[in-house]
Structure 1
Amino acid sequence: MKSAAKVAIASFAALALAGTLAGCGTGSGDESGKLELRVATFPPGADQAAYDAFAVQEKQFEKLNPDIDVIGVEYEWKAPTFAAQLAGGSLPDVFTVPFTDTKTLLENGQLMDVTKEVKDLGYADKFNPIIIGEVQDDDGNIFGFPRQAYAMGLHYNRDLFTAAGLDPDQPPTTWEEVRADAKAIAEKTGKAGYATMTMGNTGGWQLTAQSISRGAEMQKDNGDGSYTSTLNNDGTKATLEYFHDLRWEDDSMGDNFLLDWGSINQEFAAGNLGMYTSGSDVYTALVRDFSMKPEQYGLTVIPTEGADAGVLGGGDIAVMSPKIDDAHKAAGVKWIDWYYMQKLLNKDAAQADAKALADSDQAVGTPVLPVLDKATYDQQQEWIKPYVNVPTDQMAGFFNGIFDQKPVGEFKGQTQPIYGLLDNVIQAVLTDENADVDALLTKADSDAQALLDGQ
């Protein structure tokens, strides 16, 4: 599941695009004879700063490519309506899709093959292999450009840590330390020390993240297009029992157990919540959309336990429709390479992008899971250092620890519907002290397999 930032940043965008499609994706050209390239850029309600940043970058690109007229359009990724948009030719020429949907789309022939183009650009071998795997078929063909990713992180309120007598510069590193700190916050401040998302499929997303941090495998890919559900595993059971103890033994989770991405961010930004897990890239939304004070924010890596433990990651891919013609494909590749990729690979592009964002009061330096190798990432971070405007010292736990963790992608079969099944499980555990964890997982596993068998 993508980390659902409410408002996308033009170029350094948050993972979720939201909005209404505007314009047709296969326009041939404008009155000047230029090729019109429609690119998914804005969510409805995006602030003026985002538009200002894009306007600067649009001019930069068109100066380098005077035969292309870039048109930014609003776009919302919705799996149920995508097929109709594709069939009707109403998609932008360039748009983004989340990792969890990419495999299905490429298997259905709904994405443009860009294998040759990526290889010709010379950086196919620089991608994080786990991330590029999200957009490859079984033969290794590539169907898009991974443009940004995130890893799960532990977000914490520094003010509540201080009020509880905890050191905000020494965040917890194990789940037991998280539990102890959550209890201290609840007892000393009266606020929820810890909370988790529980609805809108986000509960299943976060339950999966914590299960993976305890070495769980939620689903087995059988290698023949079929999947076997493995929700009923030790890691998921341990996570549910952990939540039960925080809720019923420690009373450290407050009294709101119907939280989704937006509402948990609101509670956190308002100072009503000490800790929660979510994508590492949520800082921008917390500060800009939920009015959190930057000095209150802290971020560290999600704790992991056991040899098989990993950190759940996600993100999205810049792709094109297989229905566009060769001219639009070539222009689309130029745009994706310039707008998304070169700022990760080229000093001048990285600094121009960072400056445009900083000048438009957009965040620069928000922690992400690099889509390219560590050496390339480290170099890019050095290039943009003069423009970083987020409190990176308060995110040191994440920056220092993320490369020591094993990234794990989301399971591919019926991802969102199965997350919905797990919403029900986590809600039951948090609202019924005597909930039978074994019975809940057995049923969820059975229901998940029925979904997989029927897909």
Structure 2
Amino acid sequence: MKFSRRTTMAFAVVGALALGSTLGACSSDDSSSGDSGSTTLDPNTKVTLNVVGLLPGAKPEAQQALAQEVADFQKENPNITVKTHDYEWKATTFAADLAGGTLPTVFEIPFTDAKTLIANQQISDMQAYLTQLSYASNFNTNLLQYGQGPDSHVYAIPAKSIYAVGLHYNRALFTQAGLDPNKPPTTWEEVRTAAKAIAEKTGQAGFAQMAKDGTGGWQLTVDTYARGGRMEDGKKATLTNDATKASLQFLKDLRWTDNSMGANFGYDWSGINQAFAAGKIGMYTSGQDVYTSLVQTNNIDPKTYGLTMIPLSGGESGVLGGGTMAAVSSKANNNEKAAAIKWIDFHYLRKYTNQDAAKKNAETMVASKQPVGTPELPIFSQTQYQQYQDWIKSYVNVPLDQMTTFTGKVFGAKLVNEPAIATQDVYKALDTAVQAVLTDKDANIDQLLNDANAKAQRAIDAAG
């Protein structure tokens, strides 16, 4: 899903984002109120481009790195002025922000949302602009399709945080609880045992789960996939499947039988990251790319961080995957769109295809003490991604040796897309079930899922 987060891609080939302020008029052509009529920006035409920046609360070092990147971009494109704005994609506020015109001209969306925005004509057709990039034909087509409209044109562009969900764990709490941080859990029963030990020995939550603003449903879907279940079968909601029931029962057991989930049962994506970085959570599930945010926003101690595969059980079990796309407001004129593709190239993509750009980006990040080398899944080919890894190898400053039980296994796992229809509505319907199980000892799992399934089906039917 990834709220700086979350969100879908087709991973078969790969495996074989809160608004800071109201922006009003988000971008402007400073030399003319009209378009150039071309997909190429005249170097004499001045454009001010508002774009998403970092998560709210990002550390000064992260802001410094972004400011340097903007300066480098503007040096290369002196006719474009870039203004960045704090941004975190949230299901509860995004639609209103978009409708109200308060988003930057270039903004980030989950893979799951692109088709709806295209259908509603809320993002720009970027096909003619994208084809100007030398590497435009090299995208993983299974990825690119999520940003394509019925006309096969590209409206949203795969940009960053292409992830598979992993199990994040606190190595320090593992040690304090008498557990071996180099041997993290490989089954859900081992997760439960470790969570109980952490809670009993350290007083912190052994395991925590996101629960609101769609994140509860997102992570319950993660748990369901890991046990071989699915939330949709074509246009039919299947939230009452046995794997989802088992996932809720697991949470209920940790919460009420083991008392190993602490006292906070209302986490969202940013909240659980903050608590984990502060040493208040032993384990939680989220995208494998979240380490960057933990450093930039939450000041995590790298020595305490561990990443491993989520436990998989059953023949159809798989890992939920997602990522972030860059989109351009449908209100943008041609000059703004031409400027936007230059920024999308420079900020998100060029480093994966150009050695000099890769090294320059890595140097900038290292100089500002920002993470370089956080595990990702490839936007282009796996071969291209490996070449990128070779380019930045000498700059890597993340504890990859504490992530090997994830990175060494993820490409061998079945990677599964998020529910394809009415994704956010499905997640919101499941939020209620997660919250009830964590706050009501007598919660009836069957009834909760029946109710959630009915809500999800109505949303699926409405989506056509």
Settle same-fold status: TM greater than 0.5.
yes
Q: Which of 172, 186, 194 matches 2:207?
A: 194
CA contact (8 A) 2:251 2:438 kept: yes
Q: Where in structure 2 are the equivalents of 1:34-183 lying within 5 Å?
A: 34-43=45-54, 45-74=57-86, 78-85=94-101, 92-148=104-160, 149-183=162-196
CA contact (8 A) 2:158 2:379 kept: yes
Q: Which 10-residue stretch deviates more, 286-295 or 303-312?
A: 286-295
Measure, in 2, the Cα distance between the counterparts of 1:127 and 1:301.
Answer: 26
Aligned twin of 1:340: 348
Measure, in 1, the Cα distance between the counterparts of 2:278 and 2:67.
Answer: 33
Q: Which 10-residue stretch deviates more, 439-448 or 176-185?
A: 176-185
User: Would you say 1:29 and 2:30 are equivalent positions?
Assistant: yes
1:129 CA drift (Å): 4.0
CA contact (8 A) 1:39 1:71 kept: yes
After superposition, the Cα gap between the structure-2 partners of 1:286 and 1:56, relative to the gap in structure 1 and judged at 3 Å, is closer
AA partner of residue 143 (structure 1): Y
Measure, in 2, the Cα distance between the counterparts of 1:316 and 1:372.
Answer: 14
Aligned twin of 1:18: 19
Aligned-residue identity in percent? 47
User: Would you say 1:311 and 2:324 are equivalent positions?
Assistant: no
**CA deviations over 1:50-90 (Å, ceiling 9, x no partner):** 343233223332333344333434556521231331xxxx6
1:362 CA drift (Å): 1.9
CA contact (8 A) 1:199 1:258 kept: yes
Aligned twin of 1:380: 388
User: Would you say 1:254 and 2:262 are equivalent positions?
Assistant: yes
Secondary structure of 2:236's aligned partner:
strand
Aligned twin of 2:220: 207
Secondary structure of 1:313's aligned partner:
strand
Measure, in 2, the Cα distance between the counterparts of 1:328 and 1:127.
Answer: 23
1:342 CA drift (Å): 0.6
**CA deviations over 1:325-384 (Å, ceiling 9, x no partner):** 333322322221122111111110011111111112222222233322211111111211
1:296 CA drift (Å): 0.8
1:306 CA drift (Å): 2.4
Measure, in 1, the Cα distance between the counterparts of 2:289 and 2:403.
Answer: 11
CA contact (8 A) 1:155 1:278 kept: yes
1:298 CA drift (Å): 0.6
After superposition, the Cα gap between the structure-2 partners of 1:41 and 1:439, relative to the gap in structure 1 and judged at 3 Å, is closer
Q: Which of 418, 429, 435 matches 1:421?
A: 429
Measure, in 1, the Cα distance between the counterparts of 2:441 and 2:213.
Answer: 23
Measure, in 2, the Cα distance between the counterparts of 1:164 and 1:40.
Answer: 44
CA contact (8 A) 1:26 1:324 kept: yes
After superposition, the Cα gap between the structure-2 partners of 1:347 and 1:286, relative to the gap in structure 1 and judged at 3 Å, is same
User: Would you say 1:234 and 2:242 are equivalent positions?
Assistant: yes
Aligned twin of 1:410: 418
CA contact (8 A) 1:3 1:279 kept: no
Measure, in 1, the Cα distance between the counterparts of 2:135 and 2:254.
Answer: 46
Secondary structure of 2:322's aligned partner:
strand
Aligned twin of 1:10: none
Secondary structure of 1:121's aligned partner:
coil
Aligned twin of 1:8: none
Q: Which 10-residue stretch deviates more, 63-72 or 266-275?
A: 63-72
**CA deviations over 1:162-205 (Å, ceiling 9, x no partner):** 12222111212222222222233234334332121222322111
After superposition, the Cα gap between the structure-2 partners of 1:275 and 1:453, relative to the gap in structure 1 and judged at 3 Å, is same
Measure, in 2, the Cα distance between the counterparts of 1:239 and 1:91.
Answer: 36
AA partner of residue 256 (structure 1): N
1:412 CA drift (Å): 4.0
> How many residues end up aligned between the 2 structures?
436
TM-score by length of 1: 0.87
User: Would you say 1:431 and 2:443 are equivalent positions?
Assistant: no
Structure 2: stretches of 5+ with no match in the other structure: 6-16, 33-42
